[in-house]
């Protein structure tokens, strides 16, 4: 792994299409929900990436800053910008500070799982809380751990199989980690990528929030604010600073 984490030039070049998604309806729904939660205040995105969400928030009239570890991902954001350059700090979202006090700090698309230790995930919550004004909110979008999809004793879960893409997660129940393995096939060539993650159940995230001085306000199964239940495969969780 280099200083950009696992998000190097090759990943950044195809991130939106392969990983982040570019469906305008999904982006609009995400942005609309975040703007409502921000209540007109300043916004900070952890792991702002290619600006998939942040730039749309700015187009919606919000004041947005970001933190991003990967320089290649930030370069993609800069290529998209049509307004004054967004204020983005290069660094780790568990510790990097930016100037300002924010009504909303958010982290989307399973990115919390990129922090591969429990201590690091707690630090992420604490860093979010430090940036929030009183009454401000920290929002996380992440998956429900995929372990219910594998039989007892198994540790591999195939999540993609097509002419263009194979994907297999290798899951370690003992330490709540998994490695997501991808192979893409195009033009007679194969590209491989393996990225480590740490999963956490919603209840564990609530405890992390409590450590950081935040309290659960909402938990939804998607950006349309549908109820979260036992069949949900991901959650949008909103914690508020007193």
Q: What is the mean pLDDT of each run of 10 residues along the chain (242 residues)?
A: 75 75 88 98 97 96 98 96 96 98 96 96 98 98 91 93 93 94 90 93 98 98 97 97 97
Strand partners, 167: 160, 182
pLDDT at 2: 59
pLDDT at 98: 97
Distance of alpha carbon 57 from alpha carbon 30, whole angstroms = 9
Indicate whether 64 and 108 sit together in one domain: yes
pLDDT at 186: 87
In a domain, 1, yes or no: no
In a domain, 156, yes or no: yes
Indicate whether 69 and 127 sit together in one domain: yes
Indicate whether 48 and 113 sit together in one domain: yes
In a domain, 69, yes or no: yes
Indicate whether 118 and 159 sit together in one domain: no
Domains identified in the chain, total number: 2
Residue 79: which domain range? 9-145+200-240
């Amino acid at each position: 792994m280099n200083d950009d984490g696992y998000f190097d030039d090759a990943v950044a070049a195809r991130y939106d299409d392969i990983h982040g998604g570019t469906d305008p309806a999904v982006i609009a729904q995400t942005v609309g929900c975040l703007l409502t939660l921000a209540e007109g205040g300043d916004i900070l995105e952890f792991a702002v990436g290619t600006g998939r969400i942040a730039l749309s928030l700015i187009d919606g009239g919000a004041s947005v800053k970001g933190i991003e570890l990967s320089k290649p991902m930030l370069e993609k954001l800069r290529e998209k910008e049509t307004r004054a350059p967004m204020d983005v700090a290069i660094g780790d979202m568990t510790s990097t500070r930016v100037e300002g006090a924010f009504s909303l700090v958010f982290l989307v698309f399973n990115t919390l799982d990129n922090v591969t230790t429990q201590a690091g995930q707690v630090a992420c919550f604490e860093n979010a809380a430090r940036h929030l004004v009183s009454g401000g909110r920290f929002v996380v979008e992440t998956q429900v751990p995929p372990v219910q999809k594998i039989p007892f004793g198994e540790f591999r879960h195939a999540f993609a199989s097509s002419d263009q893409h194979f994907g297999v997660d290798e899951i370690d129940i003992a330490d709540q980690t998994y490695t997501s393995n991808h192979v893409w096939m195009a033009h007679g060539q194969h590209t491989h990528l393996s990225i480590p993650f740490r999963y956490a159940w919603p209840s564990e995230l609530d405890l992390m929030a409590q450590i950081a001085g935040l309290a659960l306000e909402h938990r939804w199964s998607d950006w349309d604010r549908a109820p979260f239940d036992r069949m949900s495969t991901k959650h949008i969780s909103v914690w508020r600073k007193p």
